Structure 1
Amino acid sequence: MQFPSSRRVRALLALGPLVGLSWLGAYAAFTDSVDVTTSFSTGSILIRANDQTGTVALTSLSMSGVIPGAVRYAPLRITNSGTSDFNYSMTTATTGSAPLAAALTIGIRVVPSATCTATEYNASTTTLHTEAAGLGSAAIASRPLAAGASEFLCYKVTLPSAASNALQGLTSNATFTFSATT
């Protein structure tokens, strides 16, 4: 039996890949591609009180010469001027006379407009802070507000009729701090 010469074998082995590659071109398929791009940008939150940022004086709630039984109502507009919805909350800090701050009662309700009187306050079905003694106790836990939306809060502060005679001539100040988070 005769074996093929090693030269022939080598030639066949060398031609094999070339012949195989030539067949690949005959079976080529059409191809196409597409690039998809996108971008990401952050939104913003911006809380305003009476259309202002920073420190806002709520002078309509201020009371002077207060006597037992006095009641004061004052509106405060909260606005989300940002591009994203947020939840806002409110805490209160008091300075000055602690006994007077403890004696004052405060309640906060949502009303439909900037009109904040006993009528609107009592008609409101959305209570954010139930009337309670202690000015410093006023708080709003968490309330949603859509981007671009506003709502009116109606504050009611009372020095109860049974207020102690020891409260005469005292002054207490309150700072309501609003915070917004997404």
Structure 2
Amino acid sequence: MKVPSSRRVRALLAIGPLVGLSWLGAYAAFTDSVDVTTSFSTGSVTIRANDQTGTVAFTSLSMTNMIPGTVRFAPLRISNAGTLNFNYTMSTAVTGSAPLASALVIGIRGVPSSTCDATTYTASSDTAYASAAGLGSAAIAARPLAASASEFLCFRVELPSGASNTLQGLTTSATFTFNATT
């Protein structure tokens, strides 16, 4: 017997969803998911001199009424108050009498504590800077400093005993600029 095509179509349409649902049921599975989150933050670079930021008065190195042969030692504590390790450098700018600045001899050494005198300076083999080229040439190449660490630098400034008589009554000032970079 011949079934009209519209009956066939209706029969297929009626059975189709049942077959489809049974097929989906055969492939059902347990499921689960997990979310993974994270955050990002930057570290900080904070350099300090004698536990201060900004402009720091280095009065322990200042000298007045110098005479030839005068030597001054002064410690300076450089600290990394940031969260990142960094390298720091130092440069010098002088104002005032150029002849006096050129005559002054400066040396800088790393020392183990705030004790900075002729004995600790001479005993240190950690020379950060040494030159007879004058105050204005003082510079420190990159020195590493870990986060939350500090170190002491011992500055030695001398007006040599053979200084010219023309240096009388002159004044010069120095600004030591410390820069830290990661």
Alignment deviations for residues 69-102 of structure 1 (CA, whole Å, 9 cap, x no partner): 2211110001111222222111110000001101
TM-score, scaled relative to structure 2: 0.90
Q: Which residue of 2 aligns with 1:165?
A: 165
Matched residues in 1 for 2:82 and 2:54: separation?
15
Which consecutive unaligned segments of at least 5 residues does structure 1 have?
none
Amino acid at match of 1:7: S
Matched residues in 2 for 1:3 and 1:171: separation?
122
Go from structure 1 to structure 2 and tell me whether the alpha carbon gap of 1:4 and 1:120 turns closer, same or farther (over 3 Å shift).
Answer: farther
Q: Which residue of 1 aligns with 2:38?
A: 38
Q: Which residue of 2 aligns with 1:84?
A: 84
SS at match of 1:53: coil
Q: Which residue of 2 aligns with 1:124?
A: 124
**1:49-128 alignment, distance < 5 Å:** 49-128=49-128
Amino acid at match of 2:80: N
Go from structure 1 to structure 2 and tell me whether the alpha carbon gap of 1:129 and 1:29 turns closer, same or farther (over 3 Å shift).
Answer: same
Matched residues in 2 for 1:48 and 1:107: separation?
21
**More displaced stretch, 61-70 vs 101-110:** 61-70
**More displaced stretch, 170-179 vs 139-148:** 139-148
Which consecutive unaligned segments of at least 5 residues does structure 2 have?
none
TM-score, scaled relative to structure 1: 0.90
SS at match of 2:156: strand
Is the CA contact 1:108–1:131 (under 8 Å) kept in the aligned structure 2? Answer: no
The root-mean-square deviation of aligned C-alpha atoms, in Å, is 1.9
Is the CA contact 1:44–1:84 (under 8 Å) kept in the aligned structure 2? Answer: yes
Is the CA contact 1:86–1:180 (under 8 Å) kept in the aligned structure 2? Answer: yes
Q: Which residue of 2 aligns with 1:174?
A: 174
Matched residues in 2 for 1:130 and 1:141: separation?
12
**More displaced stretch, 78-87 vs 146-155:** 78-87
Amino acid at match of 2:108: I
SS at match of 1:133: coil
Structure 1 position 65, deviation (Å): 1.6
Structure 1 position 17, deviation (Å): 5.9
Matched residues in 2 for 1:136 and 1:176: separation?
9
% identical aligned pairs? 73
Aligned length in residues = 181
Matched residues in 2 for 1:4 and 1:93: separation?
106
Q: Which residue of 2 aligns with 1:23?
A: 23
**More displaced stretch, 71-80 vs 8-17:** 8-17
